Amino acid sequence: MTAEPTTRLKIMELAQDLLRDKGYNGFSYKHIAEELDVKNAAIHYHFPSKEDLGVAVIARERRRFKKWIARQSIRELDVWGRLDWFMSIYEHYSNGGTRVCYLGVLESSFDAIPPELQNEARALNTEMLDWLTELLEEGRQQGEFQFESDAASKAVLVISVAQGSLQIARVTSSDSFFSAVQQVKRDLGFQS
């Protein structure tokens, strides 16, 4: 676990942004090279193939998510606090309405991304869904959340809303994301 060199990090950072703005097939090594003022070949040194780069970006996000949910400061929050934290991930993704979440992007062009990237997307999706399912179940047992369906279905619903409203916000430049989050919370029984 040595400190990663700056160029490698910069590439990943930019690739992450480009992925959310343009989709996997919407950006190229040339875009990255020009923006970072390095040569095409330098990127290939760090990430031999574009698939490697894509996988690295999503795999890092998976590691981050795992680290976050293991953190004491998250675990000690009550169920509403954890729900808010989860939604804040999407809010952070959104970048003020200009960006959407990775999963929606990758899922939307699923048949046009490399196999390993498909696997990463699937894995991140599953991990987020599983965590949220557990949270919803716990909240219901505590009497904090009210819903009728099974927790897994509710988790899909909540993530769908976050993902979808972010996408809609992008073209309508409205605050649809925040309004959607509020509605989800109210639906779960939040008293404002």
Partner DNA sequence: GTCTATACGCTGATAGAC
Partner DNA sequence: GTCTATCAGCGTATAGAC
State the residues that interact with its own copies by CB under 8 A: 21-23, 25-27, 100, 103-105, 107-113, 118, 121-122, 125-126, 129, 148-149, 153-154, 156-157, 159-165, 167-168, 170-172, 174, 176, 179-180, 182-184, 186-187
- By a kind-dependent CB cut-off of 5 to 8 A, residue 42 interacts, out of DNA, its own copies, none, with DNA
- By a kind-dependent CB cut-off of 5 to 8 A, residue 108 interacts, out of its own copies, DNA, none, with its own copies
7 binds DNA (CB under 7 A): yes
51 binds DNA (CB under 7 A): yes
CA separation for the pair 114, 170 (Å, rounded): 26
Per DSSP, the residues of 24-60 read GGG--HHHHHHHHT--HHHHHHH-SSHHHHHHHHHHH
Binding track, positions 143-172, relative to DNA; x by CB under 7 A: ------------------------------
- By a kind-dependent CB cut-off of 5 to 8 A, residue 39 interacts, out of DNA, its own copies, none, with DNA
Contact indicator for 144, 138 with CB cutoff of 8 Å: no
Number of neighbouring beta carbons within 10 Å of residue 8: 15
Contact indicator for 65, 39 with CB cutoff of 8 Å: no
- By a kind-dependent CB cut-off of 5 to 8 A, residue 185 interacts, out of its own copies, DNA, none, with none
CA separation for the pair 19, 104 (Å, rounded): 11
Sign, CA dihedral 12-18-21-23, equals negative
Interface with DNA by CB under 7 A: which residues?
5-8, 27-31, 37-42, 44-46, 48-51
